[in-house]
Amino acid sequence: YFAVLGCGTLAVLEQNEAGIVLLRSFDWNDGLFDVTWSENNEHVLITCSGDGSLQIWDTAKTKGPLQVYKEHTLEAYSVDWSQTRGEQLVVSGSWDQTAKLWDPAVGKSLCTFKGHEGVIYSTIWSPHIPGCFASASGDQTLRIWDVKAPGVKLVIPAHQAEILSCDWCKYDENLLVTGAVDCSLKGWDLRNIRQPVFVLLGHTYAIRRVKFSPFHATLLASCSYDFTVRFWDFSKPNPLLETVEHHTEFTCGLDLSLHNRGQV
């Protein structure tokens, strides 16, 4: 476990003519592992922490957090706000092997999802199917859940290694990608999980984060403990488009801009 001890900081950045500037920063007394923006309020975001708690912050206020949820018994490692219209739900994943469902307007979790036999590293909402999310775990499985049903919907033994990241394709509700400690990225079609749709090889250490492009159906980006960020097009015979070696340490996170096609 690449645990971080000590306090964490949430830095809120703004891009303007002067470049990228610090708009506001908030401190928490433990490491912050993930962050997600509200889908209905541009000032609100949620972080999750090494002490097992989730924090709601408001960038319009100088102090915070607005609210703290403390239910996970170990590190809360992943948090994601649902993107489908008509619901305001947040999912969190923890090293306590559970995922929890939250409504930010309610002071406690709505539901706890059990089934993983290892640490949960990633919990991501489907951008297409209301109430559906995926989780990736150290138990080497990718799992699909439905908030309206108590048990797991689908279990995919995706890698023979810990899976640190997963993401949904923005253009195909049945397609997901996983990234694992075995240095591979794999694509999965939920209608046929016997074989991956694609396997992308090139990273030399564990893949920490993978994200599909919001603009291109077959484009994705990944980052790794090998210090690199890589861009892929799984529809091409040679899928590796580019390797960026700007970092001098573990590359732990990345995301693609929803507004600027070229920005990561």
CA distance 142 to 190: 11
Distance of alpha carbon 73 from alpha carbon 65, whole angstroms: 20
Residues in the chain: 264
Long-range CB contacts (within 8 A, 24+) of 97-105: 97/137, 98/72, 99/123, 99/133, 99/135, 99/145, 100/71, 100/72, 101/147, 102/54, 102/69, 104/38, 104/44, 104/46, 104/56, 104/67
pLDDT at 143: 98
User: What token pair was written down for 136?
Assistant: 């990736």
Averaged pLDDT in 10-residue chunks for the chain of 264 residues:
69 91 93 93 95 96 91 97 86 98 93 96 95 97 92 94 98 98 98 97 97 97 98 98 96 93 90
Considering only CA atoms, give the Rg of the chain: 18
Q: Which fold has domain 8-157?
A: Methylamine Dehydrogenase; Chain H (2.130.10)
Quick one: pLDDT at residue 1?
45
104 C-beta neighbours (distance < 10 Å), count: 19
Residue ranges per domain, the chain?
A: 8-157
Q: Among candidates 173, 129, 171, 134, which has minimal Cα distance to 156? A: 134
pLDDT digit string, tens, across residues 20-36 = 999 999 999 999 999 99
Distances in Å between the Cα of 261 and the Cα atoms of 53, 157, 193, 213, 214 are 34, 33, 31, 9, 8
